[in-house]
Structure 1
Amino acid sequence: MTDDSSQPSRWRHGARLALCIVFLLGMFYLVAVVRVIDIERVRDMIAATGPAAPLVYALVSALLGAILVPGPILAAGSGLLFGPLVGTFVTLGATVGTATISSFLGRRAGRESARGLLGAKRAERLDAQIERRGLWAVVGQRFIPGAPDALSSYLFGALGVPLWQMATGAFIGSAPRAFVYTALGASIGDLSAPLAYTAITVWCITAILGAFAAHHSYRNWRRRGKEVDPVAKP
């Protein structure tokens, strides 16, 4: 017999999560489609800060990434300003910052509601899975082609992935793409340069590995689901 008293609570949790999703989609529309933030202007302002520009760019990019400014645009700007070597480290620092900020906000805004919708037993099973595999779930997500990093970080935060796993996973998993987009930005004037070809090659390898890992993880998840929830017999 189901407990009807839990229904209002579940509706409340669902409405809260829906509100968070609508807010994030609205932010994505404003910054990625309407482009209310002029990235070129921001880049020029940061370049004027002189020797502190790499650190300032990393901090500003981390904040912009958390409000869903597309990471490849920020990474390309880093390559254009600082070159492929320094720019890659700047991009990687910004990426880790975005992952940490987004995960923290997702945890504060959606963690309680996510647990309320899942229920106590499912939430406990999810916590156990995160404890064992949360870090590598973050790493794997960074390899999946087209998976939005900031939105995924908000989701990971709502599901309870610890901040240290987010930061470490983002650092490990984002390194290849940080180099790719930064190198392409650094060679924007000559995309036929060896650096551009190297970046494209790394991107292709990363995409193939990511697609394979996603397929493998999905099959494992299906298999574990069948083991945990066998068909009950009378």
Structure 2
Amino acid sequence: MAHRDPAPRSDRRPTAASRPHLRLGGLLLGLLALGLVFALGGVLGTGTIRGWIDPLGVAAPIAYVVLAAVLGAALVPGAVLATVAGLLFGPVGGALLALASAVASAVLARGFSARVGGDALEDVSGERLRQLTAFARRNGLLAVIVQRLLPAIPDGPLSHAFGLARIRTRDLALGTAIAGGPRALSYALLGSSADDLTGRDAIAGVLLNVTTGIAGLTLAWWVLRRERRRATAAAFEGALPGDADPGPR
């Protein structure tokens, strides 16, 4: 009697990659752990990072950009990284290097989460989250600029969120370059004035940070108002008599 191969089973257990909830949950838990370690655990402070970069001499600027990009993607607070740049390279040089590392970090974080998360966010989203994601994609560059300007909202986690939402890399990089400059300069000014926080540079850094936050809140208000008008106009057009079903005559 000829041997017959068993019929292929259709009840194989799906891998983690095929389960959007597991894939997205694993990514979010990993990022949450990193955020707690660096933001609350005090594992990496300005002194530690400065001690790694300072002895490198002429290679220090490049080393800073590379290291800060990786650490920023790993959710080390951007304020810490920009302050180190100010301590090492002064207010102007520090701001330029902090901005370069912020752009690189945003692109790195976006690429990582987009690759690991895949379409998981789309698969598990409800209607409201889909609308929010669509809004972010529709206003990609503007959404990044607003987020970067808003006060007290860390860039690292949002860079990963932009990756999950599939915001274009170009919009993320350009938005970070446009809006990240004032914040980078403010923290670089504070870092360069660490020995005298009542000096002119330190006060300028605080004022610039406050002004940036106000600009972010104002721009966010304008964007939301414009979006509401767009939604209202779309709803009105959909409710026009000519678009409605005339019913039986």
Name the TM tier (shorter chain).
0.7 to 0.9
- The question of 1:51 aligning with 2:51 is answered no
Equivalent residues in 2 for 1:67-82, closer than 5 Å: 67-82=74-89
Post-superposition shift, 1:124?
Answer: 10
Instruction: Kindly state the Cα deviation for residue 45 of structure 1 after the two structures are TM-superposed.
Output: 2.2
Counterparts of 1:219-230 in structure 2, within 5 Å, are: 219-225=225-231
Range 33-42 or range 132-141, more displaced: 33-42
Amino acid at match of 1:211: L
Structure 2 SS opposite 1:100: helix
* Higher helix residue share: 1
Provide the TM-score with structure 1 as the length reference.
0.84
Give the letter for the 1:109 counterpart: V
| TM-score, structure 2 as length reference | 0.79
Structure 2 partner of 1:62: 69
Structure 1 residue 214: deviation in Å?
Answer: 2.0
Change (3 A) 1:13 1:221: farther
- Which deviations, in whole Å up to 9, do the C-alpha atoms of 1:12-48 show, x marking residues without a partner? 3233222221211111111121133354233212111
User: Is residue 144 of structure 1 aligned with residue 150 of structure 2?
Assistant: yes
Identity over aligned pairs, percent? 33
Q: Which of residues 107, 113, 129 is equivalent to 2:114? A: 107
Q: Which has the larger radius of gyration?
A: 2
1:178 aligns with 2:175: no
Query: Does the aligned pair in 2 maintain the 1:111–1:157 contact within 8 Å?
Result: no
2:217 is aligned with 1:211:
yes
Q: 1:51 to 1:219 in 2, by over 3 A?
A: same
Distance 1:155 1:43 in 2: 29
The SS at the match of 2:139 is helix
Provide the C-alpha distance between the structure 2 equivalents of 1:78 and 1:51, rounded to a whole number of angstroms.
Answer: 14
Larger CA deviation: 54-63 vs 15-24:
15-24
Give the Cα separation in 1 of the matches to 2:219 and 2:231.
18
Q: Does 1:29 align with 2:36?
A: yes
For residues 173 and 228 of structure 1, the distance between their equivalents in structure 2, rounded to whole angstroms, comes to: 31
Give the CA deviation at 1:117: 2.9
CA distance in structure 2 between the partners assigned to 1:185 and 1:38 by the alignment: 13
C-alpha distance in structure 2 between counterparts of 1:182 and 1:38, whole Å? 15
Which runs of at least 4 in structure 1 moved beyond 4 Å after TM superposition?
Answer: 122-129, 222-234
Q: Distance in 1 between matches of 2:53 and 2:218?
A: 39
Give 1:24's aligned amino acid: L
Helix, strand or coil: the match of 2:115?
A: helix
Distance 2:132 2:31 in 1: 27
What RMSD over aligned residues (CA atoms) do the two structures have, in Å?
2.9
Which residue is 1:4 aligned to?
none
Is residue 136–residue 143 contact of structure 2 (8 Å, CA) maintained in 1? no
Query: Pick from 154, 164, 173: which aligns with 1:167?
Result: 173
Deviations 1:168-225 (A, max 9, x none): 1111110000000011000111122211121111111111111122233334444545
